[in-house]
Amino acid sequence: MRITEERRSSLVSILLLLFFFNTRHLQVMSCPLQTTNCTDQDRKLLEFPLNLEYLEAEFFLFGALGFGLDKVAPNLTMGGPKPIGAQIANLDRLTRDIVLQFAWQEVGHLRTVKGFARPLLDLSEKSFAKVMDYAFGRKFVPLFDPYANSYNYLIASYLVPYVGLTGYVGANPKLQCPASRKLFSDKNLKISKLYMFNVNYAKVLHLVAGLLGVESGQDAVIRTMLYARAKHIVHPYGVSVAAFTDRISDLKNKLGKMGVKDEGLVLPKAMGAEGQLAGNVLVGDKMSLAFDRTPEEILRIVYGSGNESVPGGFFPQVADGEIAKSYLD
């Protein structure tokens, strides 16, 4: 009799748990169908970062392998144009290994976060050289070549993941649907134009920090590798690695037009974490929290124009998605 009662009690507990879970699951699944804000604005915010995912995937794939999505996963391009000027980089073994890991991570992201075709990307030497010239206020001779060696490639990579990371941080509080906020932190969930989520609530809770974890991890690795080389003088420009990061961060802040949201690897001690040290491997605000950026700020930076309505830079035609295109009207 005791066994029967215990089984009955366990069965009741399981049924109650399933009832609670299914109720929550239905709330998550129905949320995109309830309000315009949840289906429209959230979808726009969730698809916008695809621009940076394509940029990262192609830059890392070409840098490590000498070819990109058109060879490793042509279906993920959705027929979008091939990137301009991307090529294999002259990397040491460790750097190539790490960049290749980043590359395949980005392929995984593109398999699960969908929305629009690959936009036209300019990953040429001239594109990066223009950024460096702008950052230093003078023309480098010879042109800065991101593919020339590991130092140059890591410095060029310093431009990429952190911009996307701050964009994700900035978009999260703007999501109208609570389910979207959870989904935004999960790189392993499908997001399509129809904004339908084929995922259960338990998985959402389990992977809530997935998206920001991967992007911030990539940025942290790049910054750490550069920090270890902070005093190295980059030939033939006579500029240290640390100085490169300072100038690039200053440029991103200038283009973003919303104050300091990026910092180099070495700071005055008073500006370091708790005012205790100059090293700045992980960038953050006064409370060491990640900075946020709006889609407008991101477009100003990746366009290199300081204007979300003027395409250029890494997106010579225009970034894709409804948010990016809305500034061209």
Domain ranges of the chain: 35-326
Q: What is the pLDDT of residue 16?
A: 39
**Run of H or E including 234:** strand 233-234
Quickly count: other Cβ atoms within 10 Å of residue 242's Cβ: 19
| Confidence class for position 15, pLDDT limits 50, 70, 90 | very low
The Cα–Cα gap between 18 and 15 comes to 5
- Given a cut of 70, whether residue 289 has pLDDT beyond it is yes
Q: Which of 35, 126, 162, 70 is nearest to 43 (CA)?
A: 35
* pLDDT-based confidence at residue 39 (cuts at 50, 70, 90): low
Sequential DSSP letters for 153-179: HHHHHTTSHHHHHHHHHHHGGG-SSHH
What predicted TM-score, i.e. pTM, was given to this entire model? 0.80
Q: What is the mean pLDDT of residues 97-104?
A: 97
Q: Please state, in angstroms and as integers, the Cα–Cα distance from residue 234 to each residue in 31, 60, 239, following that order.
A: 52, 21, 6
Residue in the block written with tokens 């629009």: 116
pLDDT at 291: 85
Mean pLDDT for the stretch of residues 120-124: 97
pLDDT reading at 301 higher than 70: yes
Structure confidence at residue 169 as a pLDDT band (50, 70, 90):
low
Alpha carbon distance 160, 154 (integer Å): 10
**Residue bearing the bigger pLDDT, 1 or 92:** 92
Q: Residue 204 forms beta bridges with which residues?
A: none
* Residue 239, H or E segment: strand 239-240
Each residue of 174-206: pLDDT tens digit?
545 555 544 444 444 444 433 334 343 333 333
Higher pLDDT, 44 or 37: 44
DSSP 3-state assignment of 219?
helix
Q: Mean pLDDT in the chain?
A: 80
Question: How do residues 222-251 score in pLDDT, each as one tens digit?
Answer: 999 999 999 999 999 999 999 999 999 999
